[in-house]
Amino acid sequence: MQNEVLKSLCQRRSVRSYKPDQITDEELKAVLDAGTYAPTGKNYQDPWIVAVQNPDIIAQLVRMNAAVMGTDTNPYYDAPTIVLVFASRPDKWPNGVCDAALVLGNMMNAAHAVGLGSCWINREREMFDTDEGRELMRQFGLPDGLMGVGSISLGYPAKPLPPARPRKEHYYRIVK
């Protein structure tokens, strides 16, 4: 069975090299809107999405993430846009992290569908559990009680996407 959605899902790749050009507002909105349509437990719509294009804040996020990672490289691969996703802590909403993961996945697939590249980036939990991270969350206008779940780097791929690597044997099973 083949259709455009399935084809796009199979062709999406993580992008780790971006052109410096900023994406358009229309492209960003398409990606963010797709995130808001991710399924959430009981339609609670718990995740919070913050798109960052401010170079000073991006530099701060790069520094914070690199510190958690123990490196001096850019964990966001010099992407011109970083999209952060937050969720309620598990004691408030046990589905928060799973819901946020679906938001991130929807946005990555939407990015590919509109010609952008993206890559899931980790360590936001550690970044935003710091005083500096909590202050940023306040600056973003987020409510108390949230945690960082993940982010995506977002921009125009600097080079063509590679073909898919082979899927592992016996990746899934069908039980009838």
Count the neighbouring beta carbons within 10 Å of the beta carbon of residue 151: 30
- Judge whether 132 lies within some domain: yes
Instruction: Supply the pLDDT for residue 1.
Output: 67
Task: Enumerate residue ranges in the chain where pLDDT < 70.
Answer: 1
- Judge whether 2 lies within some domain: no
- Judge whether 5 lies within some domain: no
**Secondary structure tally for the chain: helices H, strands E:** 6, 4
Q: Whole-angstrom Cα distance, residue 119 to residue 68?
A: 18
- Judge whether 90 lies within some domain: yes
Query: What phi and psi values does residue 113 have, to the nearest 5 degrees?
Result: -65, -25
Instruction: Supply the pLDDT for residue 2.
Output: 83
| Domain CATH code at residue 111 | 3.40.109.10
Q: Whole-angstrom Cα distance, residue 80 to residue 57?
A: 11
**Number of domains composing the chain:** 1
Instruction: Supply the pLDDT for residue 104.
Output: 98
Provide the domain limits for residue 99: 22-155
- Judge whether 83 lies within some domain: yes
Q: Whose CA is closest to 33, among 149, 111, 140? A: 111
- Judge whether 172 lies within some domain: no
Which amino acid belongs to residue 13? Answer: R
Buried b (16+ CB within 10 A) or exposed e, 21-41: eebeeebbebbbebbeebebe
